[in-house]
Amino acid sequence: MALFRRILACLVTAAIMTPQIVLACDCEEPVIVNAMEAYEQSRREGRDDVEGFWGIYLDWIPQSDISRRYRMAIVRNSFDVYPDADYIGVATCDSPGCVRGEVKLLLTRTDVAGEFEATLLVTDVDGAKGRAFLIDDDEGRERSALDLRGVTYEGNVMAKWMLRIRGG
């Protein structure tokens, strides 16, 4: 039965590249949303500080062969997935370890401005959890980095930070 669910989920995931479909399930397969819609939302006027178009490099995953760079749009969670998350990070590229449209990051506001409860979702694990903070990047651009060093899985940091992509 588990094999059947995995095969079905793979087939559905492959068919989901049509813009309006959203897949949300309680299985281990990725939750896919419309990546182009997330990208457009991440660039709109009046967005929140954490919303935007970001680059991330995962330098540790329990399966080291899928550690890679990819691009992610962080937007308000308006996709009817992960109801406890205020924001979701959506992969906007296909890359080893992620699929375009896959939800990779969950952020929930805390009482402190620029601080979030974060879950970084990865294949075959529940996800790394902890606190993430908006900070200035190395070039002094305000709130252009998301510090993820407090987000860990089994004591390991998976990504040190995400950087806002210029113009994004």
Higher-pLDDT residue of 156, 92: 92
pLDDT confidence of residue 54: 96
Q: Which one has a higher pLDDT value, 46 or 123?
A: 46
Write down the pLDDT at residue 159. Answer: 87
By CB neighbour count within 10 A (0-12 exposed, 13-18 middle, 19+ buried), where does 37 fall? middle
- Mean pLDDT for all residues in the chain: 80
pLDDT category at 61 given cuts 50, 70, 90 is low
Determine the pLDDT at residue 23: 31
**pLDDT at residue 67 above 70?**
no
Cα 146 to Cα 148: distance, rounded to the nearest angstrom = 6
- Tokens representing residue 58 in the block: 């995962």
User: What are the extents of the domains in the chain?
Assistant: 2-164
CA distance 78 to 95: 24
DSSP 3-state assignment of 45? coil
Q: What is the pLDDT of residue 65?
A: 59
Question: In the prediction, which pLDDT does 1 show?
Answer: 39
Nearest to 50 by CA among 155, 135, 139: 135
Residue 98's pLDDT is what? 78
Lowest mean per-residue pLDDT among 44-53, 64-73, 114-123:
64-73
Looking at residue 124, what is its pLDDT?
Answer: 54
- Percentage of the chain beyond pLDDT 70 is 74
